[in-house]
Amino acid sequence: MATVLVVGSGIAGLVAAIHASERHEVVVVTKDVLGQSNTRYAQGGIAGVMFDDDRVEDHVRDTLLAGAGLCDEEAVRVLCTEGPERIRELIAFGVAFDRDGDAFAKGLEAAHSYPRVLHAGGDATGAAIETALVETLAARRVTVLEHTVLVDLVVTAGTVTGAHLRSSERGAFTVDADQVILATGGVGQLYPFTTNPAVATGDGAAAALRAGAVLADVEFVQFHPTALAAPGSFLVSEAVRGEGAVLRDANGERFMRELHPDAELAPRDVVARGIARAMAAQGGAPVTLDATALGEDRLAARFPGIDEHLRASGVDWSRTPVAVAPAAHYWMGGVATDLDGRTTLPGLLAVGEVARTGVHGANRLASNSLLEGAVFAARAVSAIDAAPGPIAGHPRLGGQRVVLDPLAADDDLRLPTDPVEPFSRSALHAVMWRDAGLVRDARGLELARRTLDRWSTELDDVDAHRSVAAAEDRNLLLLARAVVAAALARTESRGAHARDDHPGVDPDQASPIAIVLTTAADAHLPTTHPSVNGTVLAPC
């Protein structure tokens, strides 16, 4: 029996903990209360081949097309082949997916060729899954540490052997473990407008990077096209467009039909940039999502959560189109793993949004994220059962390696006119939204890089252990630097990564970009490889 430390309590963390509890001693660490995660806010559904007239090959094809040439096809096949079994397991755990008579209700979302998306409670799929998994876990012998934050991983002789944690009750403490599974979610809080909850500060990915793990695909941040243009960026599910809602500009015209043959159901990156373009043409004013043709009864029945939120805000969306704008939603990148969730560090596994499995490529297909969390969490625990000792994974990456210097103050490159604003969360948000958001270019990314490098010298690592906010700031700054460095290195536009100065797709760049810290880089790393704006590149 091994001690397995699971950090995170969304679908990936909870599925991992439930499976691991069958054979191991399990400790679950959650930053808030159990069940507070990105999963809970997932209005969309879970995609899977659950109907006789659907095919795994079609789900694979749709996923590969959305991924814009950067998916790991073997990982995609694992997802689509094993997905139905994991969905049936969720049903056994108590998730009641919506029915249409005796069959599951079919849902169509963008870039799917078949309505294979299952929902629960209309637009409350994530909450239904989270509730069922929390109840299932409660019946197991598992230690749960709530209001506890991952500060750093413990690495002993190159192997992860536990984690340094901080809780509101116990202060700083350490938990030893034979295996650590990261399930800490994404990085939505890098941006001022995000559909993610406040806990999404990239804690697991940053800790893994500091410990020596390899990250990949970090430049690919998916912006959801339709968040309410109001404080909080409340998500209006893509399924609303799947039901027939349309996007209109300030003149009431449907602008997406001119940009893509699938119009409002084009891949998310296409729709998000289409909205941004329409907003720019009308002085920054948001566009509107017009669902009035669906009618009051249908909207209330199909999207009860959204309907309730809008009506509580004084908006009757059955009569009035609602103002929407893009917001940061999902991170395709993360800690590089193999097909069993193993990272490049022995003893460390990663599952869910914090992991880069290769499934999503450059752009996630709608409703594949919940499925990925369940599928690869189960595989990670199976890998532990098969080989309980710490084993490093070997993700298939190829491509380039970007090496970050953790203390890369770059004052010699700073122009006299560059601002010297001190670090703050709001200042970070401004830089990331302006220079590393929906559309990027070399000038903005270079300005962002210099600013982030200067800020990296302002945050003392010792201070990060003194408060949750300081730890989060350190994590966000490190991951912002990673995103910007990878975005500079990828001199093409692909999927969610769009560069005005390189608008085309470059076939020679159809491979992941890996990120490591200098403290973790190979000692023999050559220094004669090409340098992109001060960042050393080498073959990976």
Whole-angstrom distance, CA of residue 406 vs CA of residue 517: 7
DSSP state of 409: -
Confidence tier at 109 by pLDDT (50, 70, 90): confident
Looking at residue 239, its pLDDT comes to 83
Whole-angstrom distance, CA of residue 336 vs CA of residue 343: 6
Q: Which of 352, 380, 360, 306 is nearest to 130 (CA)?
A: 352
Cα angle at 385 between 149 and 174, to 5 degrees? 25
In this predicted structure, the answer to whether residue 473 has a pLDDT above a threshold of 50 is yes
In this predicted structure, the answer to whether residue 362 has a pLDDT above a threshold of 70 is yes
Whole-angstrom distance, CA of residue 442 vs CA of residue 464: 31
Whole-angstrom distance, CA of residue 141 vs CA of residue 3: 12
Looking at residue 526, its pLDDT comes to 29
The percent of residues above 70 in pLDDT, for the chain, comes to 90
Residues in the chain, overall count: 540
Looking at residue 415, its pLDDT comes to 47
402-424 CB burial, b ≥16 within 10 A, e <16: bbbbeebebeeebeeeeeeeebe
Strand spans (E) along 318-381: 322-331, 334-336, 348-350, 355-356
Decide: helix, strand or coil at residue 195: coil
Average pLDDT over every residue of 446-475 = 81
In this predicted structure, the answer to whether residue 413 has a pLDDT above a threshold of 80 is no
In this predicted structure, the answer to whether residue 108 has a pLDDT above a threshold of 90 is no
Between 307 and 126, where is the model more confident?
307
Q: What is the pLDDT of residues 490-534, one digit of tens each?
A: 999 999 999 999 999 999 999 999 999 986 544 333 232 222 333
Looking at residue 366, its pLDDT comes to 87
In this predicted structure, the answer to whether residue 463 has a pLDDT above a threshold of 70 is no
In this predicted structure, the answer to whether residue 538 has a pLDDT above a threshold of 60 is no
Strand spans (E) along 345-493: 348-350, 355-356, 400-404
396 a catalytic residue:
no
In this predicted structure, the answer to whether residue 400 has a pLDDT above a threshold of 80 is yes
Kindly report the average pLDDT of the chain as a whole number.
90
Write the secondary structure of 138-178 as one string of H (helix), E (strand) and C (coil).
HCCCEEEECCEEEEEEEEECCEEEEEEEEECCCEEEEEECC
Confidence tier at 81 by pLDDT (50, 70, 90): very high
Confidence tier at 39 by pLDDT (50, 70, 90): low
Choice among 268, 342, 379, 481 that is catalytic: 268
Looking at residue 19, its pLDDT comes to 98
Looking at residue 123, its pLDDT comes to 76
Looking at residue 40, its pLDDT comes to 63
The pair of structure tokens assigned to 321 is 């189109």
Structural contact between residues 180 and 203, judged by C-beta atoms closer than 8 angstroms: no
Cα–Cα distances (Å) from 62 to 330, 414, 425, in that order, read 18, 45, 37
Pairing outcome for strands 142-145 and 3-7: unpaired
Structural contact between residues 153 and 161, judged by C-beta atoms closer than 8 angstroms: no
* Non-local CB neighbours of 104 within 8 Å, separated by 6+ positions: 50, 51, 97, 98, 118
Q: Which of 113, 121, 117, 81 is nearest to 97 (CA)?
A: 121
Confidence tier at 378 by pLDDT (50, 70, 90): very high
Structural contact between residues 348 and 209, judged by C-beta atoms closer than 8 angstroms: no
In this predicted structure, the answer to whether residue 128 has a pLDDT above a threshold of 60 is yes
| Entry pTM | 0.91
In this predicted structure, the answer to whether residue 353 has a pLDDT above a threshold of 90 is yes
The percent of residues above 90 in pLDDT, for the chain, comes to 78
* Non-local CB neighbours of 16 within 8 Å, separated by 6+ positions: 4, 6, 181, 183, 351, 377, 378, 380, 381
Task: Using CB atoms within 10 Å of the CB of residue 251, give its burial: 0 to 12 exposed, 13 to 18 middle, 19+ buried.
Answer: exposed
In this predicted structure, the answer to whether residue 49 has a pLDDT above a threshold of 80 is yes
- The order of strands in the sheet holding 171-176 is 148-156, 159-167, 171-176
Mean pLDDT comparison of 26-40, 80-94, 120-134, highest-scoring range: 80-94
Q: Which residue has the tokens 């339709």?
A: 226
Q: What is the pLDDT of residues 219-245, one digit of tens each?
A: 999 999 999 999 999 999 888 998 999
Q: What is the pLDDT of residues 173-202, one digit of tens each?
A: 999 999 999 999 999 999 999 999 899 999
Q: What is the pLDDT of residues 195-219, one digit of tens each?
A: 998 999 999 999 999 999 999 999 9
